[in-house]
Structure 1
Amino acid sequence: MSDVEARLAALEKELGVLRDREAIRDVIHRYCRAADRCDLQAFKDCYWSDGFDDHGFFGGNAHEFCDYVIPVLRKIEASRHAITNTIIDLEGDRAFCESQWAVIHRLREGDEFLDFCHEGRYLDIFEKRDGVWKILIRTAATDLDRLYRAKDLRAMLAGERGAANRGPENNLPRGARHPDDPVYVGFDLANLAQARAPIADLWAGFYALGKVL
């Protein structure tokens, strides 16, 4: 093998590693979208059908976990999964991954919310089959938990600003469950985006809220 051929082979190997890592990260991020939007099919697409998930409150077949947890999430006001610090150790067609997560589950209680905030790590074994990476085994390790009582600030701000200051042009789309969330418009985003008149005093409503909280 010539020097050029050796260098090309090394570059091809490095490119394959980078492709695998990016494919794994894409699954990890799409898992978060699927959970927060309650998109059952997208959620299942993150796991192999013979995969296993142990979330503490459920341990068993990964697709059965999906069928269980998505209806549970749909019962609450909203959830948000955020992923950071993903470390990927590749070994052929398998990978061991550690990802830090921060999750907020928002439960409505009358005109207030209970925000259950917990943080931890997903410990995953990914497997590549026919060029596709999916989760084979996932275990959730919890590190921190907090519970907050929160006001419905969006509703309160709307009341403080009043229709004259706020107007329908200043209402951004709210996050929603599948298929109603604005993310599903995809490349039709131009049909959703609007020209909006600026709020004259953006912070006035927040100062007003500070007096009643």
Structure 2
Amino acid sequence: MDAELERKLRELVDKQEIREVVLLYARAQERRDGALFASVFHPDAIYEHYEMPPYLIDGDLDGFVAFVEKAWAASPLKSKGLHVPDTLTEVDGDEAFAESHALSLNPVDQEGVRHDYLRTLRFLDRFERRDGVWKIAHRLVLSGGYERWVAASPPPFAGAASPELRSGFYPDDPFYGIRERLRPGSVAQRTTEEQPFYLRDADVAEAGR
């Protein structure tokens, strides 16, 4: 293998590893998984979010996790979707700079009324590779400039889903049992209604005639 091709392959591997860190951050936010959240940052990292002052971890990852978990506990969000469709990365040796665009979808209960809060975000990151592992050394979370806050219409399907097939937070989300749940012969006993939602709806329509 010539040196130029080897350099390009190394860069591709680095970018993929960095991309996976970005996605792990999104998973940690969605699942409210403190240990996973801490795993993507170096212990001396800086976390800047446009809604709060900069947080200097300063070697205390446990304190950082406690801070984040306190914020999660106080949040009115009942669930969260954080979608990060793209990451553009510039690698320079053991340092890299990355820009990611994100869409945050947040169902919020306010005074008994559910609202849908959608907003765009951008992540500007400085990554460092230490002992062969890429992690965030400095993250800057920016507002993407778009926000939408509307009263939600009644969900036609989500309310009919089996409880075991709903997304949840750590440790109850199905992801944390994914290896056992998705093995052959491991289909669990379902606790949902006997008829699918669309058939029940048809029955209601038929009864109303």
TM-score norm. by structure 2 comes to: 0.78
How far residue 154 of structure 1 moved from its aligned partner, in angstroms, is 5.8
CA contact (8 A) 1:93 1:127 kept: yes
- Number of the residue aligned with 2:142: 141
CA contact (8 A) 1:111 1:151 kept: no
How far residue 9 of structure 1 moved from its aligned partner, in angstroms, is 3.0
What secondary structure sits across from 1:11 in the alignment?
helix
What secondary structure sits across from 2:152 in the alignment?
strand
Query: Aligned partners of 2:199, 2:123: CA distance in 1, in Å?
Result: 39
Over 3 Å counting, the alpha-carbon distance change for 1:101 and 1:202 in structure 2 is farther
Q: Provide structure 2 residue ranges, at least 5 long, that are not aligned to the other structure.
A: none
Over 3 Å counting, the alpha-carbon distance change for 1:99 and 1:156 in structure 2 is closer
How far residue 67 of structure 1 moved from its aligned partner, in angstroms, is 2.8
Q: Provide structure 1 residue ranges, at least 5 long, that are not aligned to the other structure.
A: 1-6, 159-167, 209-213
- Number of the residue aligned with 2:88: 87
How far residue 56 of structure 1 moved from its aligned partner, in angstroms, is 1.9
Over 3 Å counting, the alpha-carbon distance change for 1:171 and 1:140 in structure 2 is closer
Query: Aligned partners of 1:79, 1:183: CA distance in 2, in Å?
Result: 15
Query: Aligned partners of 1:49, 1:27: CA distance in 2, in Å?
Result: 15
How big is each residue's C-alpha offset from its partner over 1:98-122, in whole Å with a ceiling of 9 and x where there is no partner?
A: 0001112222235531222110210
How big is each residue's C-alpha offset from its partner over 1:20-57, in whole Å with a ceiling of 9 and x where there is no partner?
A: 11110000001000111010010000100100011123
Percent identity between matched residues is: 28
Query: Aligned partners of 1:26, 1:203: CA distance in 2, in Å?
Result: 41
What's the RMSD between the two structures over aligned residues? 3.0
- Number of the residue aligned with 1:38: 32
TM-score norm. by structure 1 comes to: 0.77
Q: Decide which structure has greater helix share.
A: 1
Equivalent residues, number:
191
- Number of the residue aligned with 2:168: 176
